[in-house]
Structure 1
Amino acid sequence: MNFEIKKYTQKDYTDWNLFIKESKNGLFFYDRDFMDYHSDRFKDHSLFILKNNKVVAVFPANESGKEIISHGGLTFGSLILSYHVKASEVLNIFEEIKKYYQEYSFNEIIYKAVPHIFHKYPSEEDLYALFRNQAKLFRRDISSVIDLSSPIRFSETKRQLVRKCEGNEVTISENKNFKEYWTLLSDVLKKFDTKPVHTEEEIKLLNKKFPENIRLFEARKDNFLLAGIVIFDFGNVVHTQYMAASQEGRKIGALDFINYFLISEFQNKKYYSFGISTENQGKILNEGLIQQKENMGARGITLDFYSIKL
C-alpha cells in the first residue's frame, strides 16, 4: 500500500476543511478557522496522507523543538480518518508519518487520542497502531460525562439547589454578547491565579466563525448575571468549556441550574461533557471538583497522551 505524505500549507485550506467535515472522527476545532486563530503561538506542521492522489487522512500537528505534538493548541489531536480507511492501512500510515518526521530530524511524536465518545463512527484503529508502534502512555486525565440516553439523577443536594433557583425565578437564556460574562469568568479565575485559555477577543472571533458550535448560556435574576457556561457543540457531544458563577450565584447554585437546563435542552445529543478533574499531568485527582460533576450524574472517561519515539 503506497501512501504519499504532504505537508499542509495555507493553499490547502479548503481541501483540509472539506476533509474534516467528511471524516469519521473530525471535530469542528480541527477546522482551519479554529486551528489558525492562534497560529502565532504554534508552528504548524500538519500532514495530508494521500492514496492514489486522494486524501484519506490528515494529521493536525505542530512543532515544539524536536517534538511533534498533535496538537499543542487543542485538547486532543489524532489521525483524522476517512470512513474508507482500514486497520491495516492505518498501520502503514503510522509508518509513513514516522518516516516523514524522522527525515526532518524530529525525535518524538506526542499523540493525544480523541476519546471514543467524540467519534462520528468507530475510529480506534489509531489505538491499535499506537500499541504496535510501542507508544508509551505517559499521561491520563479523567473527564466526566453524562450519557444523555439514560442520565443518572442529580443528587438530592443538587436537586434542592435547582428548586431554589426556580423559587428565586432565576432565568436561563443564551447570550450572543460575551463581554459581561468574560469579565465574571476572568475575575473568578484570577482568584486561582489563572485566566481563560481564550481571551475575550479570541472567543468572540471563534463564536463569530462557529456560531452553532460555540454558545454562551447565562443564569440571571432581574437581569443580574449570576453564572454562565460556554459550551462547545461537537455533534455527538456537548462540552462545557467554561463555567463560572458570582458569589451570589454560588449561594443559590446557579451553575447547577444551568447544567440542569442544558442537560434537558440537549437531549438530542449523545453525551454531555464536563471536562477533566485532574492536575499535574493526570497524577492528582481533584476530588472536590469531580464530586461536583458526579453529583450531577457524570461518570468517567479518559483522555490519553502517548509518546512515540522516532
Structure 2
Amino acid sequence: MHFDLEYYDESQRAEWERFIRRAAQGTFFHFQRFLDYHPPGRFRQRHLVFRRKGHIVAVWPGALREEDGVPSWTSHPGASYGGLIVRPGLGLLEVHHLVADLVESAKSLGVDRLRLTPPPWIYHRHPTEAVEFALLRAGFRYLKQDYTQAVDLAALPKDEEEVLLRYDPKTRTAIRKARRDGLEVRHDVPVAGETLAEFYGILQRNRARLGVTPTHTEAELARLAELAPKYLDLTLAALHGRPIAGILNFVCNEQVMLEFYIAHNHEDQAHRPVPLLVHETVLRAQRRGFRWLDFGISTEAGDRVTWGLAAFKENFAVQGFLRNTYVLDDVQGWKPGDFFLPEVRRVRTDMR
C-alpha cells in the first residue's frame, strides 16, 4: 500500500468532519452526522481513511452490501453522493495510488464490486477530475450517467426584475399570478413538529399522485434536522395562512444548495405556488452567497429522461451537467495495467 490505511471509528469523528469541510469535493452527504440519520443496521458501514505522515489525505465513505447478488462496497448507498474524497492539491500520481490502494483494500474485504457516485464538479471547492480520470484508467466503467440541472447564481443579475427576464415568459407570468393571488412565502421554517408535518403531508399526497413515496420518512427528516439543522432549509407557500406548497433544500457546502423536495397540493395548482417557490429559492440562494442552485436529476432508471421535469427546470435559466456513477467489476481479479503507474526506473531517470 502506498498510503497508511485504516477503517473509520468513532474516535476519528471530529477529524473526519474537519477534513470533509476542507476537502476538494466534500459535501453534506459525506459528514458522519448525515450518515448517522440512517437507522442502526440499515447499512454495514465501512469507511476507509487514507493517511500520509499521520494526516488524512482522502476518505471513502462506504457500506458493504449485496448488489444483484454480488458482494459490493458502495460509496454510499444512503447518500446522493459518495466517492473518493481528496485533499485539495493532491497530485495525479498520488490520486492513482489512492485508487490502487482502494481496490486492494476491497480485495482484502472479499468484495467483488466497487461502486461510487462522486459529486459533479459544480460541488467542488477546488475543481478537479483527477479522481474520475484515475478511476477510468483503473478499469472502472460508467454504470449510469444522470442528467442534473443547476442555476449559475454568480451569472445572474442582482436586480430581481432582471433575474425574471432570464426566465421563460410563461414562468414570469406564473410568478406574478401567485403574488397577485396573495401567496405568502415563509422562509426558515422549522423542519420539526407541526410545520414538518404540514410539509410532509403535502409531499406524501403529491408523490402518491405519481405512484411513488418520498425517499425519506417524516421521522428521518426530523432526525436529520436534529443532527444537522444548519444544512436543511425549508420554505413554505401559504394561501390565507394555509400551507399549500413547500420546498426543502439541502445546503451541500458553501458552493451548492440542492433542491431535494418540492411539492404542492394539486387542488391549489392554479395559484402557481411552485414557480414562485423556485424563484424565491433562486433569490435566497443568491443572497446567501452560493455559486450554484442544483435542481437535481431529471433522469430515471433504465436510461429514461423525465422530459416534463427537465423542461420545467429549463424555465429558470439552468445549465446541464452529468452525475456519473462508476463501477469496477471483478475486484478480486484486478491488476493495474502496464501504464497505470509510471515505471520506477524511468521516473528516476527523468528526475536526474
Q: Same fold (TM over 0.5)?
A: yes
Q: CA RMSD in A?
A: 1.5
Question: Match of 2:170, as an amino acid?
Answer: T
Alignment: residue pair count: 309
Question: Secondary structure in 2 aligned to 1:266?
Answer: helix
8 A Cα contact 2:46 2:64, kept in partner: yes
Please state if 1:236 is matched with 2:241.
no
Report the alpha carbon displacement of residue 193 of structure 1 after superposing the two structures with TM. Answer: 2.4
Question: Secondary structure in 2 aligned to 1:75?
Answer: coil
1:201-254 Cα deviation digits (max 9, x unpaired): 111121122222101101111111121000011221111100000124321210
Please state if 1:276 is matched with 2:269.
no
1:168 to 178, 181, 187: 181
Question: Secondary structure in 2 aligned to 1:26?
Answer: coil
Task: Output the CA distance in 1 between the equivalents of 2:169 and 2:18.
Answer: 46
Question: Match of 1:139, as an amino acid?
Answer: K
8 A Cα contact 2:151 2:294, kept in partner: yes
1:43-94 Cα deviation digits (max 9, x unpaired): 1111000112221111011111211111101112111111242211010011
In the alignment, what sits opposite 1:58? 59
Please list every run of 5 or more consecutive structure 1 residues that lacks an aligned counterpart in the other structure: none
Question: Match of 2:290, as an amino acid?
Answer: K
Question: Match of 2:182, as an amino acid?
Answer: E
Structure 1 residues 249 and 87, CA gap change in structure 2 (3 angstroms): farther
Aligned counterparts, 1:141-180, within 5 A: 141-151=146-156, 153-174=166-187, 175-176=189-190, 177-180=195-198
In the alignment, what sits opposite 1:126? 131
Please list every run of 5 or more consecutive structure 2 residues that lacks an aligned counterpart in the other structure: 157-162, 332-352
1:91-149 Cα deviation digits (max 9, x unpaired): 00111111111012111101212100001112321011112102111201101111112
8 A Cα contact 1:78 1:112, kept in partner: yes
Task: Output the CA distance in 1 between the equivalents of 2:261 and 2:186.
Answer: 16
Task: Output the CA distance in 1 between the equivalents of 2:100 and 2:268.
Answer: 53
8 A Cα contact 1:249 1:255, kept in partner: no
8 A Cα contact 1:146 1:297, kept in partner: yes
Task: Output the CA distance in 1 between the equivalents of 2:2 and 2:120.
Answer: 29
Question: Secondary structure in 2 aligned to 1:37?
Answer: coil
Aligned counterparts, 1:1-310, within 5 A: 2-38=2-38, 39-65=40-66, 66-151=71-156, 153-174=166-187, 175-176=189-190, 177-234=195-252, 235-267=254-286, 268-281=289-302, 283-309=303-329, 310=331
Task: Output the CA distance in 2 between the equivalents of 1:158 and 1:34.
Answer: 35
> Which deviates the most, 179-188 or 34-43?
34-43
Report the alpha carbon displacement of residue 284 of structure 1 after superposing the two structures with TM. Answer: 0.7
Task: Output the CA distance in 2 between the equivalents of 1:218 and 1:146.
Answer: 21
Task: Output the CA distance in 2 between the equivalents of 1:157 and 1:57.
Answer: 46
The normalised TM-score by structure 1 is 0.95
8 A Cα contact 1:25 1:119, kept in partner: yes
Question: Match of 2:79, as an amino acid?
Answer: L
8 A Cα contact 1:220 1:227, kept in partner: yes
Report the alpha carbon displacement of residue 287 of structure 1 after superposing the two structures with TM. Answer: 0.8
Percent identity, aligned pairs only? 25
Question: Secondary structure in 1 aligned to 2:111?
Answer: coil
Task: Output the CA distance in 2 between the equivalents of 1:156 and 1:226.
Answer: 24
Task: Output the CA distance in 1 between the equivalents of 2:36 and 2:223.
Answer: 12
Question: Match of 1:290, as an amino acid?
Answer: A
8 A Cα contact 1:207 1:215, kept in partner: no
1:18-41 Cα deviation digits (max 9, x unpaired): 221222211122111111211421
